[in-house]
Copies of this chain bind each other. A is one copy, B any other.
Amino acid sequence: MDKLPGPVGVPQVLTVGELARRSGVAVSTLHFYEAKGLIRSERSVGNQRRYARAALRRVSFIRVAQRVGISLADIAAALASLPATAAPGREDWARLSAAWRSELDERIAQLKKLRDTLDDCIGCGCLSIDRCRLRNPGDKLAEEGAGPRRLLVKPSVVGAHPVRDKPTRR
Protein backbone atom coordinates (compact mmCIF):
# COMPACT_ATOMS: atom_id res chain seq x y z
CA MET A 1 0.00 0.00 0.00
CA ASP A 2 3.01 2.20 0.26
CA LYS A 3 3.03 4.62 -2.60
CA LEU A 4 6.57 4.77 -3.88
CA PRO A 5 8.34 7.76 -5.52
CA GLY A 6 7.07 7.97 -9.11
CA PRO A 7 4.46 10.79 -9.26
CA VAL A 8 1.17 9.11 -10.16
CA GLY A 9 -1.81 11.45 -10.40
CA VAL A 10 -2.73 12.80 -6.98
CA PRO A 11 -0.98 10.66 -4.39
CA GLN A 12 -2.52 10.18 -0.97
CA VAL A 13 0.88 10.17 0.61
CA LEU A 14 3.77 12.45 -0.30
CA THR A 15 7.50 11.91 -0.54
CA VAL A 16 9.71 14.64 0.82
CA GLY A 17 10.52 15.77 -2.69
CA GLU A 18 6.88 16.09 -3.58
CA LEU A 19 6.07 17.96 -0.43
CA ALA A 20 8.99 20.26 -1.12
CA ARG A 21 7.84 21.02 -4.65
CA ARG A 22 4.23 21.52 -3.69
CA SER A 23 4.86 23.63 -0.63
CA GLY A 24 7.67 25.60 -2.19
CA VAL A 25 10.22 24.96 0.54
CA ALA A 26 13.52 23.12 0.21
CA VAL A 27 13.85 19.49 1.20
CA SER A 28 16.45 20.48 3.75
CA THR A 29 13.93 22.83 5.30
CA LEU A 30 11.43 20.04 5.65
CA HIS A 31 14.05 17.94 7.38
CA PHE A 32 14.74 20.90 9.59
CA TYR A 33 11.08 21.43 10.42
CA GLU A 34 10.73 17.79 11.24
CA ALA A 35 13.74 17.92 13.54
CA LYS A 36 12.10 20.88 15.27
CA GLY A 37 8.86 18.96 15.64
CA LEU A 38 6.84 21.22 13.36
CA ILE A 39 5.87 18.42 11.01
CA ARG A 40 5.87 14.66 11.23
CA SER A 41 6.31 11.79 8.83
CA GLU A 42 5.95 8.06 8.66
CA ARG A 43 8.73 6.06 7.13
CA SER A 44 8.56 3.73 4.14
CA VAL A 45 10.15 0.28 4.20
CA GLY A 46 13.28 1.86 2.78
CA ASN A 47 13.38 4.45 5.59
CA GLN A 48 12.14 7.29 3.43
CA ARG A 49 9.78 9.95 4.70
CA ARG A 50 6.14 9.68 3.78
CA TYR A 51 3.86 12.60 4.52
CA ALA A 52 0.12 12.64 4.89
CA ARG A 53 -1.60 15.26 2.76
CA ALA A 54 -2.29 17.21 5.92
CA ALA A 55 1.43 18.00 6.06
CA LEU A 56 1.03 20.30 3.08
CA ARG A 57 -1.47 22.29 5.07
CA ARG A 58 0.86 22.49 8.02
CA VAL A 59 3.75 23.70 5.92
CA SER A 60 1.61 26.38 4.29
CA PHE A 61 0.54 27.49 7.68
CA ILE A 62 4.10 27.63 8.94
CA ARG A 63 5.31 29.71 6.03
CA VAL A 64 2.51 32.20 6.16
CA ALA A 65 2.76 32.64 9.89
CA GLN A 66 6.50 33.08 9.61
CA ARG A 67 6.12 35.62 6.88
CA VAL A 68 4.17 37.91 9.14
CA GLY A 69 6.89 37.78 11.71
CA ILE A 70 5.98 34.91 14.00
CA SER A 71 8.87 32.76 15.14
CA LEU A 72 9.15 29.04 14.53
CA ALA A 73 9.06 28.51 18.26
CA ASP A 74 5.67 30.18 18.53
CA ILE A 75 4.39 28.36 15.51
CA ALA A 76 5.59 25.10 16.93
CA ALA A 77 3.76 25.82 20.15
CA ALA A 78 0.58 26.55 18.26
CA LEU A 79 0.87 23.48 16.07
CA ALA A 80 1.51 21.36 19.11
CA SER A 81 -2.15 21.77 19.96
CA LEU A 82 -3.08 19.96 16.77
CA PRO A 83 -2.90 16.18 16.75
CA ALA A 84 0.18 15.33 14.72
CA THR A 85 -1.01 11.81 14.13
CA ALA A 86 -4.39 12.18 12.45
CA ALA A 87 -5.90 14.91 10.34
CA PRO A 88 -6.83 17.75 12.70
CA GLY A 89 -10.52 18.02 13.44
CA ARG A 90 -12.61 21.12 13.55
CA GLU A 91 -12.15 21.76 17.21
CA ASP A 92 -8.41 21.48 16.80
CA TRP A 93 -8.33 24.35 14.35
CA ALA A 94 -10.77 26.19 16.52
CA ARG A 95 -8.41 25.95 19.45
CA LEU A 96 -5.52 27.20 17.38
CA SER A 97 -7.55 30.02 15.96
CA ALA A 98 -8.68 31.18 19.35
CA ALA A 99 -5.15 31.11 20.68
CA TRP A 100 -3.82 33.16 17.80
CA ARG A 101 -6.70 35.46 17.27
CA SER A 102 -5.55 38.12 19.68
CA GLU A 103 -1.96 37.89 18.59
CA LEU A 104 -2.94 38.35 14.97
CA ASP A 105 -5.33 41.16 15.80
CA GLU A 106 -2.61 42.86 17.71
CA ARG A 107 -0.14 42.62 14.89
CA ILE A 108 -2.70 43.93 12.47
CA ALA A 109 -3.37 46.89 14.73
CA GLN A 110 0.35 47.48 15.01
CA LEU A 111 0.82 47.50 11.28
CA LYS A 112 -2.08 49.83 10.71
CA LYS A 113 -0.75 52.15 13.31
CA LEU A 114 2.62 52.27 11.63
CA ARG A 115 1.04 52.91 8.27
CA ASP A 116 -1.40 55.51 9.47
CA THR A 117 1.22 57.21 11.56
CA LEU A 118 3.27 57.93 8.52
CA ASP A 119 0.24 59.23 6.70
CA ASP A 120 -1.00 61.34 9.58
CA CYS A 121 2.29 62.95 10.25
CA ILE A 122 2.51 63.95 6.66
CA GLY A 123 -1.06 65.16 6.58
CA CYS A 124 -0.77 67.35 9.62
CA GLY A 125 2.55 68.76 8.56
CA CYS A 126 4.06 68.51 12.01
CA LEU A 127 7.08 66.75 10.55
CA SER A 128 7.53 64.57 13.53
CA ILE A 129 6.44 61.18 14.71
CA ASP A 130 7.04 61.60 18.39
CA ARG A 131 5.27 64.91 18.47
CA CYS A 132 1.75 65.15 17.03
CA ARG A 133 -0.71 62.38 17.94
CA LEU A 134 2.07 60.15 19.12
CA ARG A 135 3.81 62.48 21.44
CA ASN A 136 2.87 62.13 25.05
CA PRO A 137 2.18 65.33 26.92
CA GLY A 138 5.16 66.98 28.63
CA ASP A 139 7.70 64.73 26.91
CA LYS A 140 7.94 62.63 30.06
CA LEU A 141 8.87 59.51 28.14
CA ALA A 142 12.03 58.71 30.03
CA GLU A 143 10.16 57.46 33.11
CA GLU A 144 10.24 53.72 32.64
CA GLY A 145 12.66 53.22 29.82
CA ALA A 146 10.64 50.60 28.01
CA GLY A 147 10.57 51.16 24.28
CA PRO A 148 8.51 53.14 21.83
CA ARG A 149 5.32 53.41 23.84
CA ARG A 150 3.30 55.48 21.49
CA LEU A 151 3.72 53.33 18.45
CA LEU A 152 3.74 49.98 20.17
CA VAL A 153 0.27 48.71 20.76
CA LYS A 154 1.09 46.47 23.65
CA PRO A 155 3.91 44.17 24.74
CA SER A 156 2.47 41.05 23.05
CA VAL A 157 1.47 37.92 24.88
CA VAL A 158 3.25 35.44 22.68
CA GLY A 159 6.13 37.84 22.31
CA ALA A 160 8.82 35.63 20.75
CA HIS A 161 9.40 37.27 17.38
CA PRO A 162 12.84 37.78 15.84
CA VAL A 163 13.26 41.16 17.44
CA ARG A 164 15.43 40.64 20.44
CA ASP A 165 13.39 41.97 23.35
CA LYS A 166 14.85 43.92 26.20
CA PRO A 167 18.54 43.50 26.95
CA THR A 168 17.96 40.43 29.08
CA ARG A 169 20.89 39.63 31.25
CA ARG A 170 21.11 35.89 31.45
Q: Which positions in A face B, CB cutoff 8 Å? A: 10, 18, 20-26, 28-29, 54, 56-57, 59-61, 63-69, 87-90, 93-94, 96-97, 100-101, 104-105, 107-108, 110-115, 118-119, 121-122, 125, 127-130, 139, 141-142, 145-148, 150-152, 161-164, 166-167
Contact A97 B68 (CB under 8 A): no
A145 to B59, CA, bound (A): 13
CB pair A64–B148 under 8 Å, yes or no, is yes
Tallying the copies of this chain within the complex gives 2
**CB closest residue in chain B, given A24:** B147
Sample 6 A-B pairs with CB under 8 A, ordered by A number.
Answer: A57-B129, A57-B130, A64-B148, A68-B114, A107-B111, A108-B108
Establish whether residues A130 and B21, one from each chain, have CB atoms under 8 Å apart when the complex forms: no
- Which residues of the other chain, B, contact A127 by a CB distance below 8 angstroms? 87-90, 93
Q: Is the CB of B96 within 8 A of A118?
A: yes
Minimum-distance CB pairs A-B, first 5: A69-B69, A24-B147, A97-B118, A60-B148, A26-B167
Please indicate the chain B residues that have their CB under 8 angstroms from the CB of A67 in the complex.
Answer: 69, 110, 152, 161, 163
Which of A18, A28, A60, A67 counts the most B-chain CB atoms under 10 A from its CB?
A67
Taken together as a complex, chains A and B put the C-alpha atoms of A135 and B114 apart, in Å, by 32
Contact of A119 with B107 in the complex, beta carbons under 8 Å: no
Given known A-B contacts A57-B128, A142-B21, A93 and B110 have beta carbons under 8 A apart: no
Interchain CA distance A104-B114 in the complex, whole Å: 8
